[in-house]
Amino acid sequence: MTFAYKIDGNEVIFTLWAPYQKSVKLKVLEKGLYEMERDEKGYFTITLNNVKVRDRYKYVLDDASEIPDPASRYQPEGVHGPSQIIQESKEFNNETFLKKEDLIIYEIHVGTFTPEGTFEGVIRKLDYLKDLGITAIEIMPIAQFPGKRDWGYDGVYLYAVQNSYGGPEGFRKLVDEAHKKGLGVILDVVYNHVGPEGNYMVKLGPYFSQKYKTPWGLTFNFDDAESDEVRKFILENVEYWIKEYNVDGFRLDAVHAIIDTSPKHILEEIADVVHKYNRIVIAESDLNDPRVVNPKEKCGYNIDAQWVDDFHHSIHAYLTGERQGYYTDFGNLDDIVKSYKDVFVYDGKYSNFRRKTHGEPVGELDGCNFVVYIQNHDQVGNRGKGERIIKLVDRESYKIAAALYLLSPYIPMIFMGEEYGEENPFYFFSDFSDSKLIQGVREGRKKENGQDTDPQDESTFNASKLSWKIDEEIFSFYKILIKMRKELSIACDRRVNVVNGENWLIIKGREYFSLYVFSKSSIEVKYSGTLLLSSNNSFPQHIEEGKYEFDKGFALYKL
């Protein structure tokens, strides 16, 4: 690893990339101030043999300001405090822990998943999650962010584990414990921007692009002068989470905001690093473009899977009747059918919301190149009142929605608490210390998302914590759905037959067919089978081909 430090016997070699600076001193708290050597690319280095793990340090710049290490491994006192030297992990295993086809993902925000809001809290729930049947937990970003309350997208130290969650040791332990239970760990990482507070990189060098902007702030410089070093900073970060924490995969935030005109896009290089270590990488992309996941020979970045908002939006708009914002593009049952069959509803179609033709057909890509969900941190948290879908639809619709995605050929992702019918909201919350920024965030969330609760107020964060009031019926329904998914080998196989009427949908796979009745309908069923699972008792144990009157609900039949 180029950045931060390397522990070599009793020597520690510090490296800081700061081409804007003429001279830099390393200040090791309670030990001394050391002039560093500068090379022509702006790398400052020094080797000390009087420092050790747990020592804290800062860098003193030309203007005498003292800043943390941008590649810090640990910020015990937060984004403005000193960086701490931590023990490097001994080994990591290079085998594949997670196979795409087995993936059932569970998205967790560490701070609100349990009352204590720490990695320990998550460890306490691993058996529960194992019992649920998921195969991987996806941890929302843990790169050190300002304060204690943040979704994680305001992180500014890409290599430092959030102190309030339990720091490096806490996360190592979580990964190890999860592996012991046979659960994979996917880490949400943010390479399209950094947070607005605590970003000292701007003083050091062209870490950020002058050419491109994102809605959330500065974006990394992947294709301009000195982008080699920035690309290395990011690619080594991927390697770091694998080698130092043994994570099994990554979820890349908003890759559509990562602009790179280099011959080899940074996303392709990230995928190469991930695959070198037999891990997987998932991307959130708003482009509806199969290029993200297509193999290299088909001009793709070779990322393993991408999120499919269209699948969510089509179900959400149809079940809730909502048409505000991007839901204006959805609302018909045909959209659900289209997404089920073709992944993207907008695959070269004009989008009224976007006011442009959007997307491209996915062609023959198999289902495990796509991640679907009926909720996630954005789809809940960007709503003014942070309502979960359970508060927006009746119970039957909730179960229908769950079945639709958990029995789809696509990789399902459960939003924490959804499986037991959690009703608490999930708000946007933050813990900045800069008053202007705090005011800006308040006004921004109010204006853009209609959020009345104050993101900065701890009560908003606390209101977003899971209640753990388990609705046993919902919970067992989710468990069986997951079990069925595994037993009927549904994953990845898009060769399903989808038939729909005005208010119903029948999906037939190799060994099953499922009935989704959105309102009382008379349906001509062309298959026969035995009931495996249903959302209510109105469905017959055994079905023959023929015409039936069905109440609203879902049923899964073994052919």
Binding residues: 251-256, 309-313, 377-382
Annotated binding-site members for substrate: 251-256, 309-313, 377-382
Residue 454 is among the residues annotated as catalytic for this protein: no
Q: What is d(CA 532, CA 267) in angstroms, rounded to the nearest whole number? A: 42
Q: Which of 25/265 has CB closer to a copy of itself? A: 265
The region of 281-289, 452-460, 483-491, 523-531 touching a copy of itself under the rule CB under 8 A is 281-289
Count the residues of the shown chain that bind a copy of itself, applying the rule CB under 8 A: 31
Q: CB of residue 193 vs a copy of itself: minimum separation in angstroms?
A: 13
Q: What is d(CA 25, CA 59) in angstroms, rounded to the nearest whole number? A: 6
Q: CB of residue 356 vs a copy of itself: minimum separation in angstroms?
A: 5
> Quick one: CA dihedral 109, 112, 117, 122, positive or negative?
negative
Q: CB of residue 284 vs a copy of itself: minimum separation in angstroms?
A: 14
Q: CB of residue 261 vs a copy of itself: minimum separation in angstroms?
A: 6
Helix (H, G, I), strand (E, B) or coil at 312: helix
Q: What is d(CA 101, CA 116) in angstroms, rounded to the nearest whole number? A: 33
User: What residues numbered 342-401 form the site for a copy of itself, per CB under 8 A?
Assistant: 348, 350, 354-357, 359-360
Q: Which of 361/450 has CB closer to a copy of itself? A: 361
Helix (H, G, I), strand (E, B) or coil at 543: strand
* Identified binder of a copy of itself from the candidate list 23, 261, 467, 536, rule CB under 8 A: 261
**Interaction of residue 225 with a copy of itself, rule CB under 8 A:** yes
Q: CB of residue 297 vs a copy of itself: minimum separation in angstroms?
A: 9
Checking 198-203 for CB contacts under 8 A at 24+ apart, the result is 198/68, 198/78, 198/79, 198/80, 198/144, 198/145, 198/146, 198/156, 198/157, 199/156, 200/67, 200/68, 200/70, 200/156, 201/70, 201/156, 203/18, 203/20, 203/21, 203/61, 203/65, 203/67
Q: Which of 197/347 has CB closer to a copy of itself? A: 347
Q: Which of 290/386 has CB closer to a copy of itself? A: 290
Q: What is d(CA 531, CA 513) in angstroms, rounded to the nearest whole number? A: 10
107, 229, 236, 253: the active-site residue: 253
Q: Which of 151/222 has CB closer to a copy of itself? A: 222
**Interaction of residue 310 with a copy of itself, rule CB under 8 A:** no
Q: Which of 265/465 has CB closer to a copy of itself? A: 265
284, 304, 335, 422: the active-site residue: 284
* Identified binder of a copy of itself from the candidate list 55, 226, 239, 366, rule CB under 8 A: 226
Q: Which of 356/447 has CB closer to a copy of itself? A: 356
Question: What is the largest distance, in Å, between two alpha-carbon atoms of the chain?
Answer: 84
> Quick one: CA dihedral 154, 428, 252, 468, positive or negative?
positive
> Quick one: CA dihedral 66, 67, 69, 74, positive or negative?
positive
CA terminus-to-terminus distance, the chain: 54
The region of 110-118, 283-291, 398-406, 525-533 touching a copy of itself under the rule CB under 8 A is 283-291
CB 336 within 8 A of CB 505: yes
**Interaction of residue 256 with a copy of itself, rule CB under 8 A:** yes
* DSSP secondary structure code for residue 70 in this structure: T
Q: What is d(CA 130, CA 360) in angstroms, rounded to the nearest whole number? A: 37
The region of 77-85, 222-230, 449-457, 533-541 touching a copy of itself under the rule CB under 8 A is 222-230
Q: CB of residue 275 vs a copy of itself: minimum separation in angstroms?
A: 19
Helix (H, G, I), strand (E, B) or coil at 4: strand
If 0-12 CB within 10 Å is exposed, 13-18 middle and 19+ buried, where does residue 102 land?
A: middle
The region of 226-234, 363-371, 380-388, 453-461 touching a copy of itself under the rule CB under 8 A is 226-234
Calculate the alpha carbon distances from 441 to 24, 146, 433, 446, 473 in Å: 34, 13, 12, 8, 39
* Identified binder of a copy of itself from the candidate list 35, 77, 101, 228, rule CB under 8 A: 228
Residue 284 is among the residues annotated as catalytic for this protein: yes
Q: CB of residue 206 vs a copy of itself: minimum separation in angstroms?
A: 9
* Identified binder of a copy of itself from the candidate list 58, 100, 149, 291, rule CB under 8 A: 291
Q: What is d(CA 17, CA 56) in angstroms, rounded to the nearest whole number? A: 19
* Identified binder of a copy of itself from the candidate list 1, 132, 235, 287, rule CB under 8 A: 287
Q: What is d(CA 527, CA 522) in angstroms, rounded to the nearest whole number? A: 15
The region of 51-59, 258-266, 276-284, 442-450 touching a copy of itself under the rule CB under 8 A is 258-266
Q: What is d(CA 461, CA 454) in angstroms, rounded to the nearest whole number? A: 9
Q: CB of residue 262 vs a copy of itself: minimum separation in angstroms?
A: 8
Q: What is d(CA 373, CA 370) in angstroms, rounded to the nearest whole number? A: 10
Q: Which of 228/487 has CB closer to a copy of itself? A: 228
CB 349 within 8 A of CB 359: yes
**Interaction of residue 224 with a copy of itself, rule CB under 8 A:** yes
Query: Torsion-angle region of residue 298: left (phi > 0), alpha (psi -120 to 50) or beta?
Result: alpha
Q: What is d(CA 210, CA 218) in angstroms, rounded to the nearest whole number? A: 9
Tell me the catalytic residues: 253, 284
Q: Rule CB under 8 A: which residues touch a copy of itself?
A: 41, 210-213, 223-228, 256, 259, 261-264, 287-291, 299, 348, 350, 354-357, 359-360
